Amino acid sequence: MPPSLAQIIDKADWLCYGLDRDNLLLHFLQVDEQSMDAMVFLGHSGAGAPVTVSYPIEQVIDAVRLTESARASRFILHTAFCCSTLLARCIDFPGVVRTLRELPVFSGLTPLRNRLRSENEGDFWSRIVTVIDRLSSRPFTAGGTTVNKPSNVFLPSSSDFLEINEASRALVIHSDLPAFLISCSKKQSAGTRPWIDMYLALDPDLTLAAKRGVDIKTLSAMALACLVWNVQMEILHRLADNSSRIRQVDSAAFLSAPLETVRRAHDWFGIAVADEERARVVAREMQRHAKQPSLLFDPARREAEKALVETHFGREIDSTIEWNRARFGDWEQVYRHSARRIVELGAG
């Protein structure tokens, strides 16, 4: 017999897992913390479709309104391929802070938001945001903190979550265009389709492509990656308006000083962790592969991999950056007025 909705709401390990946009259902999935540690992303367990318990959104809204008050929700927002998973693992500390990595419920919100707003259902959308915010921020231990790291396709909806909960805080991790393209070059074998899908998730109306006169069907994978980077920067430019509740860090800064970055992130999120324990966790995670945590990873490999990519793809990266300059302007200027416009982590 499935648990009641009240029982689900009362237990943080019943994750607010997924969303059926067509039938307006919320899916819940029970996952113990040990299993969460072993999963790279909560939406990719590798065991087929998970068995969930579903309830109509309106019913969940009514139940949560009666039992759950607003909490200080915490988010790690990010661009693609910027070490956000590694940062989330370094921040995670059992019994104190639990990071939820890429819950599927966050990935499908933007199309629903656009639909409801076009149907003059903005109030209903706000109630959906409120209920997901409250359910996804439930602590796993008394006095603990839950931090959500959604997929990067959550970025267009993230401002709604920051605006609806005045106690919310977010940390944005990002990378500049050359670093982004170097990371993307490692994914060349995937072809163009994943990049088209990612761009459409971030900009479903093709607003940026139309404004710049770009036909996405004719672009190479590298040029599509540029398009994705630029639309992410546009979103971060808008997010900077919530600057009192957002801080940012460059992925290169994190990799060069991981312990100090994590200390500042804990401080920003209001999380108390002993210095020696934090150092132990960060040292452990920096020696593991973020996407395959059972494997050891020598941090020195990053520079070696970067050099290898530059050898094989350097000319294509350079020509793509020139193409980007013609279409979108100087990337450094774009970067300064978007991600860099947000207050830097640790700056107060």
pLDDT given for residue 115 in this prediction: 92
Residue 331 is assigned to a structural domain of this protein:
yes
**Distance between CA atoms of residues 169 and 229, nearest Å:** 23
Q: Are 57 and 109 in contact, with CB atoms under 8 Å apart?
A: no
Reported in sequence order, the residue ranges of 105-235 that DSSP labels E, i.e. its strands, are 145-149, 169-174
User: How much is the average pLDDT of 2-24?
Assistant: 92
**Distance between CA atoms of residues 203 and 201, nearest Å:** 6
Q: How far is CA 52 from CA 32, 134, 165, 196, in A?
A: 14, 19, 27, 29
User: How much is the average pLDDT of 201-227?
Assistant: 94
pLDDT given for residue 108 in this prediction: 87
**Between residues 241 and 51, the one the model is more confident about:** 241
Residue 72 is assigned to a structural domain of this protein:
yes
At residue 128 the predicted structure's pLDDT band, cuts being 50, 70 and 90, is very high
pLDDT exceeding 90 applies to what percent of the chain?
74
**Distance between CA atoms of residues 67 and 71, nearest Å:** 12
Instruction: State how many domains the chain has.
Output: 1
Residue 346 is assigned to a structural domain of this protein:
no
Q: Is 25 helix (H, G, I), strand (E, B) or coil?
A: strand
Residue 273 is assigned to a structural domain of this protein:
yes
pLDDT given for residue 242 in this prediction: 74
Q: pLDDT tens digit string along 261-315?
A: 999 999 999 999 999 999 999 999 999 888 887 788 887 788 888 888 888 888 9
pLDDT given for residue 268 in this prediction: 97
Residue 196 is assigned to a structural domain of this protein:
yes
Q: Is the pLDDT of residue 13 over 90?
A: yes
For the domain that residue 335 is a member of, what is the CATH number? 3.40.50
b/e map of 242-279 (b: 16 or more CB within 10 Å)? beebbbbbbbebbbeebeebbbbbbebbebebeeeebe
Q: What is the mean pLDDT of the chain?
A: 91
pLDDT given for residue 190 in this prediction: 65
Q: Is the pLDDT of residue 207 over 90?
A: yes
- Structural domain for 213, as ranges: 5-341
pLDDT given for residue 44 in this prediction: 57
Amino acid at 110: T
pLDDT given for residue 222 in this prediction: 92
Amino acid at 6: A
**Distance between CA atoms of residues 258 and 262, nearest Å:** 6
Q: Is the pLDDT of residue 3 over 90?
A: no
Q: Is the pLDDT of residue 229 over 60?
A: yes
Residue 348 is assigned to a structural domain of this protein:
no
The structure's pTM equals 0.94
Q: What is the DSSP letter of 296?
A: B
Q: pLDDT tens digit string along 103-120?
A: 999 998 999 999 999 999
User: How much is the average pLDDT of 120-137?
Assistant: 95
Residue 276 is assigned to a structural domain of this protein:
yes
Q: Is the pLDDT of residue 49 over 70?
A: no
Residues in CB range of 96: below 8 A, 6 or more apart: 141, 144, 145, 271, 272, 273
Residue 347 is assigned to a structural domain of this protein:
no
